[in-house]
């Protein structure tokens, strides 16, 4: 494992959410063009039984959280970009999930204490640098119930203009999870569902001991 995966550009914005507020209108359409089932088809069998408590980190428009809520789960959607939260509440309603303004690596969740049966981080992890990923994994591990699972999708490929992203290897994420008591129960790879050139995804599920 390398200490830091090199970013695709030498100059990166400081914040992990850089560029998302400005592109929120376009991203809201893009996120909703693919379904929860399409994105997570390979790992649906690893979901806990409903009703379970699930946290969706970097929830975007709440596509995943709303789909999980429709399956009977109790969902908290943490999204730090106000413009994306507004789109999510417009598209999916304010009563579907519990929306919070929160983000990794700290993710204090003061209004939602306690642990979760599952945590989702879809297209989030690659926005964090080395130290942020370490802190984030420690926080995720502390949020999971024994036997709880962390569902994480890692983006690989060209970085969109104005975004802060790192090419984080799946193997690094598995090793980091192991350091905090999480073992890998799934590792898959898939092409980009939007058909973007050079973009591919790693899909991991890590389970708390």
Instruction: Give the domain ranges of the chain.
Output: 62-107+137-143+178-186
Is residue 196 predicted with pLDDT exceeding 90? Answer: no
Question: Residue 18 in contact with residue 74, Cβ under 8 Å?
Answer: no
DSSP state of 87: H
Side-chain-side CA neighbours of 177 within 13 Å: the count stands at 26
At 119-147, the pLDDT tens digits run 999 999 999 999 999 999 999 999 999 99
Instruction: Identify the three-state secondary structure at position 144.
Output: strand
Strands 74-78 and 116-122: unpaired
pTM for the model stands at 0.87
Residue 50 token pair: 């409903």
Q: CA-CA distances (angstroms) from residue 102 to 12, 58, 68, 148, 179?
A: 22, 8, 19, 21, 24
What are 134's strand-pairing partners? none
At 173-195, the pLDDT tens digits run 999 999 999 999 999 999 999 89
């Amino acid at each position: 494992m390398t200490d830091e995966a090199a970013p695709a550009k030498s100059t990166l914005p400081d914040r992990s959410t850089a560029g998302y507020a400005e592109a929120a209108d376009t991203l809201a359409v893009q996120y909703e063009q693919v379904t929860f089932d399409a994105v997570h088809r390979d790992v649906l069998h690893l979901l806990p039984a409903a009703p379970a408590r699930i946290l969706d980190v970097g929830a975007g428009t709440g596509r995943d959280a709303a789909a999980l809520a429709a399956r009977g789960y109790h969902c908290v959607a943490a999204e730090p970009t106000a413009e994306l939260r507004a789109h999510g509440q417009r598209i999916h309603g304010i009563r579907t999930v519990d929306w919070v303004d929160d983000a990794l690596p700290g993710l204090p969740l003061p209004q939602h204490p306690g642990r979760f049966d599952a945590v989702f981080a879809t297209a989030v992890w690659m926005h964090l640098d080395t130290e942020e990923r370490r802190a984030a994994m420690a926080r995720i591990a502390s949020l999971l119930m024994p036997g709880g699972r962390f569902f994480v999708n890692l983006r690989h490929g060209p970085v969109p203009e104005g975004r802060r992203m790192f090419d984080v290897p799946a193997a690094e994420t598995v090793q980091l999870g192991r350091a905090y008591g999480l073992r890998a129960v799934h590792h898959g790879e898939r092409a980009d569902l939007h058909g973007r050139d050079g973009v591919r995804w790693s899909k991991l599920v890590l389970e708390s001991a």
